[in-house]
Amino acid sequence: MEIKRFQNVFTEGKCDYCDSNTLVLHRRYSGESLCSECFQERIEKKIYKTISKYNLLKPEDKIIVGLSGGKDSISLLYNLYKIQKRTYNTKPIIALSIDEGIQHYRAKCLEAANHFCSKYNIEHHIIPFKEVVGKPLDEIVKNSKQTANPRYACYYCALIRRRLLNDHAKKLGGDVLALGHNLTDIAETFLMNVLFKRFYLIANQYIFKHHSSETDKYFIKKIMPLMKIPEEEITIYANLKEFHYYKSHCPFRKTEPIVRKRVLDFIESFKQLSPEIEFNLFNGFMELSEILYNTQEKKDSDYCKKCGYPSGDTEYCSYCSFIRTLEN
Ligand code: SF4
Ligand code: ZN
Ligand code: ZN
């Protein structure tokens, strides 16, 4: 069944905020009608409010933004750039992109990322998988198919990208790494973790985790200022702003129909009955992650024999275990 991803459209009507009779977007989850200008203003306010409500940034923070070249990360970078100039005006933002090495896809995303950074004069770094782990993702996936236990492309991709983003953001002197995950991403990840009973992951994703000087040695603080905005609204916002972002999806989403995609389809179809479902899942995530984080047993971690990072109760961390299989 084809799932309808785009449920909101602009139609003739009256804007609830400025009273103009014009094209308005009707938000099914809240009942509001918004003209294009008021819609954009509300999205920007929501990002700013999320940052202040959850204390995501401090004035002296050096912000590194994970920039893929898609609508989410470009909208995020644009807003942080504006907020930082207006409110903080301290250290300039740096954009950090990871080039996984996905043919017919990533080069075009990086072109959009580059274009945006040049326009706003933002320092931009690109780290290719190939340079750090020796192979692009395409080759890693191809080789893994010849092994007894092949995994989906997203598994390798996420594992390596997470580490590279973290390490390079730290190298660049960052205090926070801002990521473009939106409300739909959070709802989808939460539901998936519930379905597979991965409660330790839910606990780990708690956004107010205690930061000790020990964990700060290895991991940068991550923030998600778009976490309260549905994906669909970010698409509308990025289009209204006429951002030059790369619109197509990663080809692995089609060739390897992972569970994540099915969970997303479920949320999208359920939204037609219950438009506020993503917000309910987000609130569920916030409550449950706090309970699980505060009640889980706090054990001392071992340290990876190769990179020295915390590795839970294993000899090697998951990143180094994977790199060892690559080397072998
Ligand atoms: Fe990587 Fe999967 Fe995202 Fe493609 S869809 S960029 S393989 S995580
Ligand atoms: Zn209006
Ligand atoms: Zn390691």
Q: Is the pLDDT of residue 2 over 50?
A: no
Q: How confident is the model at residue 10 (pLDDT cuts 50, 70, 90)?
A: confident
Task: Answer whether 253 contacts ligand 1 (Cβ < 6 A).
Answer: yes
For a mutational test of ligand 1's pocket, the pick from 252, 261, 263, i.e. the residue with the most ligand atoms closer than 8 A to its C-beta, is 252
Long-range CB pairs of 136-139 (<8 Å, 24+ gap) are 136/100, 136/101, 136/102, 137/100, 137/101, 137/102, 138/101, 138/102, 138/103, 139/101
Same domain, 172 and 320: no
In a domain, 34, yes or no: no
Compute the distance from residue 290 Cα to the ligand 2 centre, in Å: 37
Q: Looking at the domain assignment, is residue 95 inside a domain?
A: yes
Check pLDDT > 80 for residue 90: no
Q: Does 117 fall in a domain?
A: yes
User: What does the mean pLDDT of the chain come to?
Assistant: 91
Based on the fold, state whether residues 203 and 303 are members of the same structural domain.
no
Q: What confidence tens digit (pLDDT) does each residue in 152-167 have?
A: 898 899 999 999 999 9
State residue 252's pLDDT score: 87
Q: Give residue 256's pLDDT.
A: 64
Would you say residue 19 lies in a domain? no
237 plus 103 within the same structural domain: yes
Q: Establish whether residue 109 lines the binding site of ligand 1, counting it when its CB lies within 6 angstroms of any ligand atom.
A: no
Q: Which tens digit of pLDDT belongs to each residue from 28-73?
A: 999 999 999 999 999 999 999 999 999 999 988 999 999 999 999 9
Q: Which of 104, 110, 253, 262 to mutate to test the pocket of ligand 1 (most atoms within 8 A of CB)?
A: 253
Same domain, 285 and 312: no
* Domain count across the chain: 2
Compute the distance from residue 26 Cα to the ligand 2 centre, in Å: 12
Range of the domain at 318: 297-328
Distance in Å, CA 37 to ligand 2 centroid: 6
Residues 138 and 278 in one domain: yes
**pLDDT one-digit tens code per residue, 108-158:** 999 999 999 999 999 999 999 999 999 999 999 999 888 888 888 988 999
Q: Do 172 and 314 fall into the same domain?
A: no
Residue 80 has pLDDT above 70, yes or no: yes
* pLDDT grade for 257, boundaries at 50, 70 and 90: low
The predicted structure's pLDDT at residue 290: 96
Does 22 reside within a domain? no
> Which amino acid would we find at residue 25?
L
Q: Are residues 188 and 233 in the same domain?
A: yes
Tell me, yes or no, whether 83 lies in a domain: yes
In a domain, 154, yes or no: yes
177 in the same domain as 90: yes
CATH of the domain at 270: 3.40.50.620
Q: Say yes or no: 141 and 236 in one domain.
A: yes
Residues 67 and 151 in one domain: yes
- pLDDT (0 to 100) of residue 327: 75
Give yes or no for residue 154 CB within 6 A of ligand 1.
yes
- pLDDT (0 to 100) of residue 6: 56
11 occurs within a structural domain:
no
Query: Is residue 177 located within the same domain as residue 95?
Result: yes
Are 288 and 311 contained in the same domain? no
Expressed in angstroms and rounded, the spacing between residue 153 Cα and the centre of ligand 1 is 7
Would the CB of 157 count as within 6 Å of ligand 1? Answer: yes
Please name which ligand lies nearest the alpha carbon of 309.
3
Q: Which atom of ligand 1 is nearest to the CA of 137?
A: 7
Q: Whose atoms come closest to the Cα of 38: which ligand?
A: 2
